[in-house]
Structures are given as structure tokens and as C-alpha cells.
Amino acid sequence: MDLLTKAADIDRAINAIQIQAKHLPPRSWVLPDLFTALPTGVTITQMKQDASTQQITIGLARRLISEAVVAYKKALTALPWVKDVNLPLENFTVPNNEFTLTVVP
């Protein structure tokens, strides 16, 4: 195999990787961390991401044990890529509690 053929094979491989990468959801690499940090008693009901701000909003089931939600916040805050976790305490009495992760780019 000559050098030109090898270069063409490498180029095709790079193009294939770039095509596949375009089909991955943004920030999909954070999902394992979000679920691994999830303590017993906390149920995620929804998850959405704002690509422009890189914030991931996680909706939580109502009637959760507040200690478990606080433990989840602490676990998420400890992740190296998490800049901030916004968890307003007044939202504990509201259905579908939500808090926001601000992902460090």
C-alpha cells in the first residue's frame, strides 16, 4: 500500500468520525456522571439542555426526601466539570422540582 492510499484511508476514517460526532447529542458525555451521582430516593422526571448557555436542567419527582436531593447536589458539585448547581430550597414544595447544572466548557 503506497503512501497516497494510506493518506486517503486516514482521511476517510476522519470523515466518518466527524459524521458520527455530529449525530451525538451535545454534552452526552456528562450523562453517566449525572446518573452515577444519583442517590437512592431521587427520581429524574425530565432533562433538557440549553446549548447556548450549556446549562442542563434536571426536573425531579415531587415528594422527594430533601436530604437525598441535597446529597445529589453535593455529589454533582464535586464533579470536576460542574461549575455550579442551582437548587433553590423554596422549590422543594413545588411539583417537578428543578435545579440547574452549569457545565464548565
Write the pLDDT tens digit of every residue in 85-99. Answer: 887 766 666 666 666
This prediction has a pTM of 0.63
Place of cell 455529589: 75
pLDDT tens-digit series, residues 20-48: 656 656 667 788 888 888 887 777 878 88
Q: What total number of domains does the chain contain?
A: 1
- Reference 60, options 73, 77, 74, 46; nearest CA is 46
Parallel/antiparallel/unpaired status of strands 44-50 and 97-103:
unpaired
Residue 82 belongs to domain with CATH number: 3.30.1360.100
| Domain span at 81 | 26-103
